[in-house]
Every structure is written in structure tokens, then in C-alpha cells.
């Protein structure tokens, strides 16, 4: 079992770690991955992935392009299912429930495990309906509380002021950063327990990046985050645990401070020193 420590170095909220280390160490294991192997047809894309993740962690997934980060992330809420030739071996459990089981309720899984992609993907409906889409699909709330859910979700991501008078407008007129925040608000509206973020800030300007990073640190421990990033600085800033993927293998995984300052593997050392793409 791996220890999770909060890395407060480089933390923009220095002195105010999002979650106390002792809290994380005592928290329940929310995600367990055992001997996970994933492939497409005859090709093995990732193998030897093992992980115990405690509630309230912020995990960054780093590694060179093509190393398997997205494939791994998407397998946690079964987004690869429809890709032709996709197969898995091993186990992924969330709060003890086997994610890879054919019997799992996918709608329920994706309510608990939300996902945000590199490019914002608002639905072609109003800003308000975007926020309510999951709430309605899962019948999570009475109609009378919909206004409050819209407002709360948008306030959480800091968008309320900007959009309160245009809730019926299309989301596509919002800026790229605002669209990504809207998608985050839409994910939050169904109260997920885990959020998977695949390079969520790579298309954003520095101010929006900061807004998303601040938000992530405010939303733990209720939400546990797994964030793929090509920004080593971002991984250091936001995560308390780092997984380094290399050539389809989880080469090294541990507290962020350890992975960046004292890694075990030469490949990790090479990558975190910025000498590998």
C-alpha cells in the first residue's frame, strides 16, 4: 500500500494544504487497481499497473506521449468499451466495486466517476441545460431545486457572475476557458466521487489554468482527482501523488515530492528533469 503525502512545496496556497496528510492517510481506499493490462487487438498498450488510491488524493499522471496515460484514465470509467479490439485483464475497483465487470451499471459508474477532456465539450443546448443534463438523466433532484443546482455548480467554478444573465444562451459563445469551466460545473452537478481529467488545462490561458487548479484543490477531499498532465510544474503544484507511465508501464508511482526529487528509476529521473518529451 502506498503512502500519500501532501506536497506543499510549490503550492500556490502555501501553508494551507488542501487536505492534511494525516487525513489522507486515514481515508478509505477509493480506487484500487490490480495487475491491470489493456490492449487493442494483439497490441498490449499498458501492463503492470497497480495502485491504491485514498479518498481526497490528487494524482497526476505523467509520461511521454503514447505511454498509455489516456488509455488508463479512460478505462477507469469504461470509456474505451466501444473502441474496436479493446480488452482488459486485471481489476479496477472503486469503493470495492469491480469496474471491469460486465454487470456494472455504466450510468451509475459515470455518475460517480466523471471525466473532463482536453478540449471543452459543451453539449449543444443552453448553458443551464448543460448543467442540468446529468442531474436530469440520473433523476437526482426535483425540478424545484434545479435553479439552485445551476447556481451552485456555476458558483463553484467561478462562472456564475459571467453567465447568470445568459443561462438560456448557447455555451459556444463562451471563451475556451469558460467552456472548460462550464464542463467542470456540469461534472460537479451530479456530485461525483472521482474526477478524471485528461490534460484539462492544456488549451487554456494562464489565468484559466490557475482558476482550474485552485478549484481542484478546493474540491478535495469530497472529490478525488486523477489528472493527466504534460506540465511537470502543474503536477508538482497540484498533486500529492504522481504516477509515471513509460512505454505502457507504470514505471514508478509515489508521493509527488519523492517522484520529482528522489525517483527510484533512471527513466523517471530523466523525465522529471525535463530531458524527455
Ligand X SMILES: Nc1ncnc2c1ncn2[C@@H]1O[C@H](COP(=O)(O)OP(=O)(O)OP(=O)(O)O)[C@@H](O)[C@H]1O
Using CB under 6 A, pick the residue from 18, 45, 159, 223 that binds ligand X. Answer: 45
73, 99 contact by CB (below 8 A): no
Whose cell is 497497480? That residue is: 50
- Residue 122 lies near ligand X (rule: CB under 6 A): no
Residues paired with 253 in a beta bridge: 243
- Residue 40 lies near ligand X (rule: CB under 6 A): yes
- Residue 276 lies near ligand X (rule: CB under 6 A): no
Beta strand segments in the chain, E? 29-40, 43-54, 58-62, 86-94, 97-98, 113-116, 194-198, 224-228, 241-246, 249-255
Binding partner at 68 among Mg ion, ligand X, none, C-beta below 5 to 8 Å by kind:
ligand X
Q: How far is the CB of 185 from ligand X (least distance, A)?
A: 25
Q: How far is the CB of 126 from ligand X (least distance, A)?
A: 31
229, 28 contact by CB (below 8 A): no
Looking at the Cβ atoms of 12 and 66, the one nearer to ligand X is 66
Name the residues that contact Mg ion, by CB under 5 A: 70
Q: How far is the CB of 69 from Mg ion (least distance, A)?
A: 5
User: In this structure, what C-alpha cell is assigned to residue 194?
Assistant: 472521482
Binding partner at 229 among ligand X, Mg ion, none, C-beta below 5 to 8 Å by kind:
none
Using CB under 6 A, pick the residue from 14, 43, 139, 161 that binds ligand X. Answer: 43
Q: How far is the CB of 61 from ligand X (least distance, A)?
A: 8
- Residue 71 lies near ligand X (rule: CB under 6 A): yes
10, 237 contact by CB (below 8 A): yes
Q: How far is the CB of 17 from Mg ion (least distance, A)?
A: 28
Beta strand segments in 144-222, E? 194-198
- Residues 248, 249, 251: CA angle, nearest 5 degrees: 140
- Residue 78 lies near ligand X (rule: CB under 6 A): no
244, 253 contact by CB (below 8 A): yes
Which residues contact ligand X by CB under 6 A?
40, 43, 45, 63, 65-71, 83
Amino acid at each position: 500500500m502506498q503512502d500519500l503525502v501532501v506536497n506543499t512545496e510549490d503550492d500556490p496556497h502555501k501553508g494551507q494544504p488542501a487536505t492534511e496528510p494525516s487525513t489522507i492517510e486515514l481515508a478509505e481506499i477509493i480506487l484500487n487497481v490490480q495487475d491491470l493490462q489493456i490492449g487493442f487487438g494483439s497490441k498490449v498498450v499498458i501492463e503492470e499497473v497497480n495502485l491504491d488510491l485514498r479518498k481526497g488524493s490528487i494524482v497526476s499522471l505523467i509520461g511521454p506521449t503514447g505511454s498509455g496515460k489516456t488509455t488508463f484514465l479512460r478505462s477507469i470509467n469504461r470509456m474505451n468499451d466501444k473502441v474496436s479490439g479493446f480488452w482488459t485483464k486485471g481489476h479496477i475497483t472503486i469503493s470495492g466495486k469491480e469496474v471491469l465487470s460486465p454487470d456494472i451499471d455504466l450510468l451509475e459508474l459515470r455518475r460517480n466517476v466523471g471525466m473532463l477532456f482536453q478540449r471543452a465539450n459543451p453539449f449543444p443546448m443552453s448553458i443551464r441545460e448543460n448543467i442540468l443534463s446529468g442531474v436530469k438523466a440520473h433523476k437526482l433532484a426535483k425540478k424545484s431545486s434545479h435553479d439552485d443546482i445551476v447556481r451552485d455548480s456555476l458558483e463553484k467554478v467561478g462562472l456564475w457572475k459571467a453567465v447568470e444573465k445568459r443561462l438560456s444562451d448557447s455555451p459556444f459563445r463562451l471563451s475556451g476557458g469558460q467552456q472548460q469551466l462550464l464542463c467542470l460545473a456540469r461534472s460537479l452537478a451530479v456530485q461525483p466521487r472521482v474526477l478524471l481529467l485528461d490534460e484539462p488545462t492544456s488549451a487554456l490561458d494562464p489565468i484559466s489554468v490557475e482558476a482550474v487548479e485552485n478549484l481542484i484543490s478546493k474540491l478535495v477531499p469530497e472529490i478525488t482527482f486523477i489528472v493527466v498532465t504534460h506540465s511537470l510544474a502543474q503536477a508538482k503544484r497540484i498533486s500529492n501523488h504522481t504516477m509515471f507511465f513509460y512505454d505502457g508501464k507504470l514505471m514508478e508511482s509515489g508521493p509527488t515530492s519523492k517522484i520529482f526529487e528522489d525517483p527510484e528509476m533512471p527513466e523517471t529521473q530523466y523525465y522529471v528533469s525535463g530531458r524527455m518529451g
